[in-house]
Amino acid sequence: MNPLLSPWTNLHGLPPFQDIKLAHYLPAFIEAFRQQQTEIHAIETNSEPPNFANTIEALDISGHLLRRVSSVFFMLTSAHSSEAMRAIQSEITPLNAAHESEIYTRTTLFKRVDRVANLSRVNLDEEQQQLLTETHKRFIRAGAKLKKADKAEILNIDAQLATQQTRFGQNVLNSSNQFELLLENETELQGLPLSIRSNAKREADARGHKDKYLFTLSRSSVTPFLQFSARRELREVMWRAYTNCANNDDALDNKAVIANIVGLRAQRAQLLGFASHADYILDANMAQSPTKVRALLDQIWQPAKERAKQEVADLQTRIQRDGKNDDLAPWDWWYFTEKIRAERFDLDSEALKPYFQIDKVRQGAFEVARQLFGLQFTALDPLERPALYHEDVEAFEVREADGRFIGLFLTDYYMRPSKRGGAWMNSLQKQSSFDGEVYPIVCNTCNFAKGAPSLLGLDEVRTLFHEFGHALHGLLSKVKYQSLSGTAVKRDFVELPSQIMEHWATEAKVLKHFARHYETEEIIPDELIAKIQQSSTFNQGFATTEYLAASYLDLAWHGPTLTQTTAETVTAAEQAAMEDLGLIPEVAPRYRSTYFQHIFSGGYSAGYYAYIWAEVLDADAYEAFKLNGIFDAQTAQAFRTHILEKGGSVEPMVLYQRFRGKEPTVTALLQGRGLT
């Protein structure tokens, strides 16, 4: 029996991870493809005239088995992969892409959908109208209206893109795992605090390097090293390794892959009638066009760059105060910024960590959800619940204040070689109510260092709250149709629920609940809270500039000018884009092209701007909470009702205006970053 194909009888519908073997995946996908094709054929051959129920709703519930198999497989390829699993992924991904593309370019099926789209919508409710609009648009954007030869070319391009994008992500993971900075004596460890040494020692032990200290290309390893290592030459080694990930002219080099992806995306956009891939993507987002995206970025770029230039001057002065004649280099930024932070605000980042024990931080996020929405999170006993896919994964039942079950929440917080970098939220099961009540199962995955205890830096605290915001979006979804559920919203709206949650992470009321010293249980002192808040806009020139640079880089790759790039010209193209922008040399874009997974193997191509677009929304939205009280019941209920529960069932700006009563402005964002 293939457990992926059998009914899942575990508690709350959890997948039977303990029974799934590598050999089960490909047969399960093949059967799932077959089943959905049968379902699609039944829709096409229905003798009744097409209507919303027999065409649109029938299409939405088709592919149930495929969604179930895909959710498990693609979650694990990111969170707990292996060489064997990546080989299967390389085989399955183009098959999956071809299957989806074939469905949404079928002539007979599109004719039925198109006919329904042109019928009167007077009998459809708001969510049904949105489902119809989005379904019809999806067919058109897939190429359903094209001539037969062009459709075939679209199918070919989609299959090639699936292969290339998978290869890109695998190259990043393998290139990251290939690098190890091993240290073993006090001279090499100079400046590194005990907590960072302890984490590096545990990582070295786990990889078989006894009595050594291992630093990897995970951001939870790179950033602390750059912040505290007094060995400038080692900081340079680490920075160069990180910024040259998958860019070493070897078998894992991504430059040729980038050239292929960019060219294929441009071809597809042209076939579909768009000037560029960016135009194609943004046509379906809130932003609507590259011009509108650039207009937003440009409003923020100049003040951010001016602030960054001032930060360069401050850092150079600080270097000279140490009696050094070095010119500020990118690998110096974190180190001397940390020194200035300590001096200017009397704030040592390492002094905060003892107050941020990971379980308590998570409990703090749970407490925010309780006070805002009445939610209860109860841990499932590992000895009583079904086995999960890794020992680090924990599971929590989520219930309303009155005890009604809402869904299941999983956390997978610690870095390991089998996990790609970054932090994200997955849905193993999406909420819906049309075909029976389906409860959501969502997972937050991060890359925090595992320690004894595991202590987080302030940025990592914000990351945990950020991903928890995505989880709430999935857990509190209250829609009929799975394709509109939870985070299934326009890409530049999806970060609103996550980014607004970060605001609570550093509120004094919230910190006093969860920030307790891991040894003494002492509540974080008021003076430390004050320092956190006073330093909130510190180094924002750098943080904003590096982010915006990556957003502009994304648009450059997906605009009309770089469609003929080759492997040999990728580096020069990136450099030219940054020079045109006027990026100061001491700052690199947050992601350089060869490891920019958001845009080349994730879902953010021509969409990395979404974080700053959503920050306009979240900064403006949080103003409502600050005005009425950060735990005001009426404001929280409005946010839940109009944002978190609605998923993609209504146009996002309509939802935002229902919550806020107006459109947002960029003012709150600039103030929040200290750029006014």
Tell whether 204 and 135 lie within a shared domain: no
Q: Is the peptide bond before 664 cis (omega within 30 degrees of 0)?
A: no
pLDDT of residue 507: 98
Quick: pLDDT tens for 488-514: 999 999 999 999 999 999 999 999 999
* DSSP H or E run through 457: none
Tell whether 463 and 527 lie within a shared domain: yes
Quick: pLDDT tens for 402-414: 999 999 999 999 9
Q: Is 72 inside any structural domain?
A: yes
Q: Is 259 inside any structural domain?
A: no
- Number of domains, the chain: 3
Q: Is 377 inside any structural domain?
A: yes
In sequence order, the β-bridge partners of residue 425 are 444
Instruction: Output the average pLDDT for the chain.
Output: 96
Tell whether 188 and 47 lie within a shared domain: no
What does the pLDDT average to over 339-367? 96
pLDDT of residue 590: 97
Quick: pLDDT tens for 256-287: 999 999 999 999 999 999 999 999 999 999 99
Q: Is 98 inside any structural domain?
A: yes
**CATH code where residue 415 lies:** 1.10.1370.40
C-alpha 449 chain-centroid distance:
19
pLDDT of residue 197: 95
Tell whether 359 and 439 lie within a shared domain: yes
pLDDT band, very low/low/confident/very high, at 452 (cuts 50, 70, 90) = confident
User: Do residues 483 and 138 touch, judged by C-beta distance below 8 A?
Assistant: no
Tell whether 498 and 417 lie within a shared domain: yes
Residue 421: is it exposed, middle or buried by C-beta count within 10 angstroms (0-12/13-18/19+)? buried
Please determine, for residue 2, whether its predicted confidence score (pLDDT) is greater than 90: yes
Beta strands across the sheet bearing 441-448: 376-379, 394-399, 405-414, 441-448, 424-429
Q: Is 490 inside any structural domain?
A: yes
pLDDT of residue 15: 96
Q: Is 324 inside any structural domain?
A: no
Tell whether 136 and 210 lie within a shared domain: no
Please determine, for residue 352, whether its predicted confidence score (pLDDT) is greater than 90: yes
Quick: pLDDT tens for 507-545: 999 999 999 999 999 999 999 999 999 999 999 999 999
Q: What is residue 493's three-state secondary structure? A: coil
Residues in the chain: 676
The residues annotated with a catalytic role in the active site are 467
Please determine, for residue 28, whether its predicted confidence score (pLDDT) is greater than 90: yes
Residue that terminates a domain, selected from 120, 145, 170: 145
Tell whether 521 and 661 lie within a shared domain: yes
Tell whether 510 and 645 lie within a shared domain: yes
**CA atoms of 615 and 464, how far apart (whole Å):** 17
Residue that terminates a domain, selected from 189, 224, 243: 243
Q: Is 587 inside any structural domain?
A: no
Tell whether 379 and 454 lie within a shared domain: yes
Residue that terminates a domain, selected from 85, 119, 145: 145
Q: Is 68 inside any structural domain?
A: yes
Tell whether 360 and 441 lie within a shared domain: yes
Quick: pLDDT tens for 545-558: 999 999 999 999 99
Please determine, for residue 293, whether its predicted confidence score (pLDDT) is greater than 90: yes
pLDDT of residue 303: 95
Tell whether 619 and 502 lie within a shared domain: yes
Residue range of the domain that includes 205: 179-243
**CA atoms of 376 and 363, how far apart (whole Å):** 11
Quick: pLDDT tens for 35-90: 999 999 999 999 999 999 999 999 999 999 999 999 999 999 999 999 999 999 99
Tell whether 372 and 521 lie within a shared domain: yes
**CATH code where residue 126 lies:** 1.20.1050.40
Quick: pLDDT tens for 156-208: 999 999 999 999 999 999 999 999 999 999 999 999 999 999 999 999 999 99
Backbone phi, then psi, for 516, in 5-degree steps? -125, 140
Q: Which two tokens stand for residue 120?
A: 């009167």
pLDDT of residue 125: 97
What does the pLDDT average to over 382-391? 95
